Structure 1
């Protein structure tokens, strides 16, 4: 079984001198996402929650629209990486033949292998404006709440996380990975597998907000995206069109609210 982290000896050098140390470093391996025998993408990822990753990728990239379209799944470990093999049912399998997406995605790359501008900037559905509401306090504390669900980060200080915040309940699910896009795909896959309704809460990220992160959140039908860092302007234009609420720079008890502010309230959160 591939380890998520590996201890490595080294030397810490400071103004006071040098000393021997041992650090836990996060492992990353090539994960081939194989659909009906054809490799659609090879992403560098943390070798944990691979099923969540593969199924979340399939959903967020619109290879499938429902897990019922996946007929079978298996992971196969090789000396140099992991294959996540999915077999699709008839309709989804036929659609796959029309969109051959192959990529070698380095860590942090979310649109690798997209071979047309139309595919990169795909149209998104518009999210309904109700009824999910979060309080300002819940948004302001969201990224700090996510910290309690990041054991691999605590061990290595080198991975991202994505969590799901349920109004009135805090972070109820989280996933980690060396890649921020991978962490979000893992979360989406875990939610789908666990029957967690993304439309009832908010996705919380330890990263910036790029357009592909907005696309993944909207396609998961999640109405609110909270991030510790900044959004891009393209991400915000896309969020505006999809009516996705984006709260960025959520840290130190505050946040910047850029789009669909109606979902953030001064009073009690909507826990219905």
Structure 2
């Protein structure tokens, strides 16, 4: 999601870049982008993919192997002579989070900071695109689920995260920085549901789940245990408020324009929500 937007933006800006893929037959033809085959789960494929690069954007799938995958990337980057890593982390990445995902990201951040290479860390808040995982509930049942209650969340559009990443990858002055990337307004899932409803012209109900109900739903959806527990912990943090309501000006400061609003996101994805 974010990686694809970064590659497209670099191409549009005329910035030559190398993008790694496991499936070279499925990549788009983008001016200035050289596609190389590699797999973070196969360290032997990384030296050729990283050779000659000086900056790396570090992102991978999120799962039980996340730490191992990104460790492989950091080791290969150092061996290849890469001097700067920009990592996509997560809001709440600490050593005491109850969400395994946040613990994983924090562990990787620590390894990267101790690697001897320069680094930049992006900690985005709750993606607006997370609502797209509920399209079938919206289409079929007219509902949106969340265990976040009326907790306020400064949703951030993945496209704005990508825009921030491009700046940190291509412009000086961002090494050694940790950026918390948020939208400019905090909304609850209930309010987000109302915005989607008004946008697509269809009545929608917000269902305020208990943690047990949310756990059962996500099990039905096939979430792996650690990802499921992370989602529940994040929902509990959001419900409680506090630091989760943090709003920053990072998008505007780095890109020169305000972050997208949730109504803009809803309009851009209205066709998906309508089915």
Smaller-chain TM-score bracket: under 0.3
Q: Which has the higher strand share?
A: 1
Q: TM-score, normalised by structure 1?
A: 0.25
